[in-house]
Amino acid sequence: MRYDQPMSDPISSKPQLASSTGGLPSAVGWSQLLLTDRLRPGDAVVDATAGNGHDTLFLASLVGPQGRVWAFDVQEAAVLETRRRLAEAGFGETCAVIHAGHETMRQKLPEAFHGRLRGIMFNLGYLPGSDKSIITRTETTLQAVASALDLLADGGLLTVAVYPGHDGGADEQRQIAEWAASLPSRRYEVQLFRPINRSASPPECWVVWKRPV
Ligand SMILES: C[S@@+](CC[C@H](N)C(=O)[O-])C[C@H]1O[C@@H](n2cnc3c(N)ncnc32)[C@H](O)[C@@H]1O
C-alpha cells in the first residue's frame, strides 16, 4: 500500500493497518505504516531479519524494481523461503537475501550505499513455526542497530519490533530501550509504540528517524 492510497478498505471498512482483531496496528504494523509513509520507488532499504520474507516482500513492493533491498537471516530455511517468496512476486532480481547475521550488515553492503539507506527494518525474536531456539541475541542486535544508524541516510527511518515475551526477549527489550534513550536528540528522533493496558509483555515498536544535518 502506498501513502496516497486510501487507508481503509471500502468494502469491509476495516482499516488496512488494523491488527488481526481489527484493533490498532501490531508492532510490525506500526513499522509498516511509518515505512509506507516515507519510502519511495527507487529507495535502498534493508530487512535485517528476513524470516519467511513477508517484510522483505513488503519493502520490495514499496521501493519497486528501481529500488534495492538487502535482507539478512542466519537460518538457511529463512533465506530460501524469502528468496522463493520474492521470486514468486517478481522481485528476485532487485533483492539480495544474504545468509548472515545482521551484525555483518556494514561489511556486506556495498560501500556506495553506506549512508544512503532510506529504511531499515528489524523484526526481532524467533521465526514463527520454526526452531524457537534460533532467536535474535541482545549482543548482536545491539551491534546491528548501531551499524544500521550509521548506514541510514539523513532523513531515513529505522524500525525495530521487539518481543519481550519469549526467553531472552525481556533482556533484549531492556537493552534496546537503553540504547534508544541514549541516542543524541540533535541527531535522532526516537519514538516507542506499545500497548499500555495489557498485563503480559506486549510486543513494541521502536522507531528512529535520523535527522538531516
Ligand atoms: C520474527 S522473525 C522475522 C520475521 C520476518 N521478518 C518475516 O517477515 O517473516 C526473526 C528472524 O530473525 C532471524 N535472526 C536471528 N538472529 C539473527 C541475526 N543475528 N541476523 C539476522 N537474522 C537473525 C531468525 O532466524 C528469524 O528468522
The CATH code of the domain that includes 96 is 3.40.50.150
Show the DSSP H helices in the chain as ranges.
27-38, 54-63, 76-88, 105-108, 138-151, 169-181
Tell whether ligand 1 has an atom less than 6 A from the beta carbon of residue 94. no
In a domain, residue 7? The reply is: no
- pLDDT of 3 reads 40
In a domain, residue 9? The reply is: no
In a domain, residue 107? The reply is: yes
Tell whether ligand 1 has an atom less than 6 A from the beta carbon of residue 77. no
In a domain, residue 12? The reply is: no
Could you list the residue range(s) of the whole structural domain that residue 188 is in? Answer: 27-210
Tell whether ligand 1 has an atom less than 6 A from the beta carbon of residue 127. yes
Give this prediction's pTM. 0.93
Give residue 13 CA to ligand 1 midpoint distance, Å: 33
Give residue 196 CA to ligand 1 midpoint distance, Å: 26
In a domain, residue 156? The reply is: yes
pLDDT(6) > 70: no
- pLDDT of 39 reads 98
Q: How far is CA 146 from CA 74, 149, 201, in A?
A: 19, 5, 25
pLDDT(202) > 60: yes
Tell whether ligand 1 has an atom less than 6 A from the beta carbon of residue 143. no
Q: What's the structural domain count of the chain? A: 1
Give residue 8 CA to ligand 1 midpoint distance, Å: 29
pLDDT(83) > 90: yes
Q: Which amino acid is it at 17? A: L
pLDDT(4) > 50: no
210 forms beta bridges with: 188
In a domain, residue 17? The reply is: no
Of 20-34, 44-58, 62-76, the one with minimum mean pLDDT is 20-34
Is 206:180 a contact under the CB 8 Å cutoff?
Answer: yes
- pLDDT of 16 reads 67
- Measured from the Cα of 101, ligand 1's closest atom is 20
In a domain, residue 163? The reply is: yes
Tell whether ligand 1 has an atom less than 6 A from the beta carbon of residue 81. no
In a domain, residue 18? The reply is: no
